[in-house]
Amino acid sequence: MSDSMNFSNVKYFFLPTILLVSSLPLGLLANGSFALLAILLSGLSAFQTIRLLKRNGVRETEKVELDSFSCRNQIFSSVDQLSAGIAHEINNPLGIISQEIEWLRHILKKQEISSSVDRKDLDDCEDSLMEISRQVDRCNEIVQKLLSLARQVEPVIQEVEANDVVLSVLEIVNREARDFNINIVAQLDESLPPISTDPPLLRQAVLNLLVNARQAIERDGEICVSTRRTDSEFVEIEIRDNGCGISPENLNRVFTPFFSTKPEGKGSGLGLAICRGIIERLGGEITVESEFGKFTAFTIKLPVGKKKERSLFV
């Protein structure tokens, strides 16, 4: 058992490297865009490797855990470099495309005034530009998500009420939920101690979970958001929905980057990967429980405020 695990680890580690190396010459030929894609892919499979190493490491010896830890750090820093590369290499061309779209629109406006041009051709051009700009928006969105996933900015820790954070996110989704006849119930434990966390990062994670819950229900259903204290060191935030649920074979894949069951263009499969990244950086843990066709519940476990923690040791 342990042998086969090691094999798969090795395989996952070399695959991206081979991919990366073999794609470089190809990429150079094609203006660098293929190379970029390959670098991206290998970066992400490397990211997966860390997850595997990390999870398998739990049951193996301390030495292996240490090895995978340093490996994880190494890979993380290269993921960081990748993200900087992506930002530069893809964002800039996207920016230029957007500017050129504006320029073409401007030219078309001028043509509209002169009557010599075919009206229908002009309309077609405008439609086409509209579609290009929609697709550029989509690319922008994915780049943004990749950056969120890879970004290793250190969290800024503040002491806040977990309930306040939850309520501020509920405000964002409440109205849209009502439009789809989705009832959001908040069961907040008023006696929660403050938590030490990065509020905007936590909001981002909770919002992603609420959006997934809403999408899982589509129409007519209920999302229950609850907070509670489990022991002296942790508080929990649970987001539970009575939507489509997750099939057993998919349950352990939902946090994998790019895993999505949503139609093309609807889901990039990065939401939960971003969530997990955030929660782990905040010193917490995120878990999922689901019954296909019945319910799904994500639970975020976060450490209570530093002040409390310190006083335990005094």
Partner 1 sequence: MEKYRVLIIDDEEDFVETIVKRLRDRGLDAEGALSGPEGLQILENKDFDVIILDVKMPKMSGIETLREIKKKKPLVEVIMLTGHGSVESGIQGLQLGAFNYVMKPVPLDELLKQMNQAYERKLIEEERNH
Ligand X SMILES: Nc1ncnc2c1ncn2[C@@H]1O[C@H](COP(=O)(O)OP(=O)(O)OP(=O)(O)O)[C@@H](O)[C@H]1O
H helices within the chain, ranges in order? 2-29, 33-57, 62-113, 119-150, 162-179, 199-217, 248-251, 271-281, 306-313
Residue 175 Cβ vs partner 1, minimum distance, rounded to whole Å: 5
Residue 205 Cβ vs Mg ion, minimum distance, rounded to whole Å: 11
Regarding 279 and contact with ligand X (CB under 6 A), the answer is no
Cα separations in angstroms, 277 against 64, 195, 209, 286: 22, 18, 13, 10
Interface pick for Mg ion out of 212, 227, 242, 290 (rule CB under 5 A): 212
Q: Which is nearer to ligand X, 56 or 204 (CB)?
A: 204
Residues 206-245 that bind ligand X (CB under 6 A): 212-213, 216, 241, 243-245
Number of residues this chain uses to bind ligand X (CB under 6 A):
21
Query: Where does residue 261 fall: left (phi above 0), alpha (psi -120 to 50 degrees), or beta otherwise?
Result: alpha
Closest CA to 86 of 153, 46, 33: 33
Regarding 271 and contact with Mg ion (CB under 5 A), the answer is yes
H/E segment holding residue 59: none
Interface pick for ligand X out of 85, 155, 269, 283 (rule CB under 6 A): 269
Q: How far apart are CA 252 and CA 282, in angstroms?
A: 22
φ, ψ at 158 (rounded to 5°): -130, 155
Q: Which is nearer to partner 1, 176 or 218 (CB)?
A: 176
Q: Which stretch binds ligand X (CB under 6 A): 88-96, 165-173, 178-186, 254-262?
A: 254-262
Contacts with Mg ion by CB under 5 A lie at 212, 271
Contacts with ligand X by CB under 6 A lie at 212-213, 216, 241, 243-246, 254, 259-262, 267-273, 296
